[in-house]
Amino acid sequence: MSKTVILVTGSNGQIGTELVSALQKKHGQDSVIATDLKDNENSEGIFEFLDVMNFERVERVIKKYNVTQIYHLAALLSSSGEKNPALTWRINLDAYLNILQLAHKHKIEKIFFPSTIGVFGPTTPRINTPQNTSFVPGTVYGISKITGELWSQYYRNTYGLDIRGIRFPGVISYATIPKGGTTDFAVEIFFEAVKNKKYDCFLKADTRLPMVYMPDVLKATLDLMEAPKEDISISYAYNISGFSLTPAELNVAIKKYIPELQITYTPDKRQKIADSWSETIDDSLARKDWNWSPAYDMESMVKDMLDNIK
């Protein structure tokens, strides 16, 4: 059996930063190749500058390190993606097609493809959104990701590639502040609460969205990738969720620790995106296939976030 060597694209992003560390702990620093458009000075281990849209460059990295698995995290997110739809399509989809073609050519053993609740849209049931439903996303981010899911299914069915994916809800974390997402308020509020004791939220107070805390993101990703192939019943992306919350509920939970926190609400263009997304998610298939079970609810997440930020 060949040595596991993992290529991570988009390693400087919110998930990538912490996933690289988790993979290094599991497989060793010399088995994880972190890549992005600029180096992360705080990271340890192997790093390669990589533009994922450059087919030849990606192939050189795969061949140089004899890569066996690829975690393809490079993407533009929902809000930032609306500023340049054509670029978002190239980064989010054309680059993924590069990965799929090279994975087939070089017999990559496993691929991880992160998707999003952004694949859902106004025709999707917002409560307990099922695994298989109507997909009419309202952003180029969502359009690119649902198309990526279909390409994943095609490459698995046609070429036998072992591709696994997760539709992530809003991701909350303290190590890296996200940029360009519709659920970023759920991270920004913590840093503003600690620093300034006030926060102006860009969504309405009662906007309910599904979330997941970073430790559960890492656990879900690693558990899915380690699950026996015969247990994986779909080839696109699994629904998962940790909990759902509104900005007002999050404010109340944080005020238990920072009672002087003042929050105002100034909805911007992201409100329209949020209004088209799910409020709660049915993740029963992930629970059945690979025993997904989040460790954190909103209350335990809030305590852990503040313990690490203060």
- Report helix, strand or coil for 191: helix
Distance CA 147, CA 200 (A): 34
283 touches 240 (CB < 8 A): yes
- How many residues comprise the chain? 310
Residue 160's DSSP bridge partners are: none
Strands (E), 37-108: 46-49, 69-72
Distance CA 182, CA 80 (A): 9
- How many C-beta atoms surround the C-beta of residue 288 within 10 A? 11
Q: Does the annotation mark 159 as catalytic?
A: no
Catalytic residue among 65, 71, 96, 141: 141
276 touches 138 (CB < 8 A): yes
Distance CA 284, CA 221 (A): 16
24 touches 44 (CB < 8 A): yes
Find, among 89, 99, 106, 105, the residue nearest to 8 by Cα: 99
By annotation, the residues acting in catalysis are 141
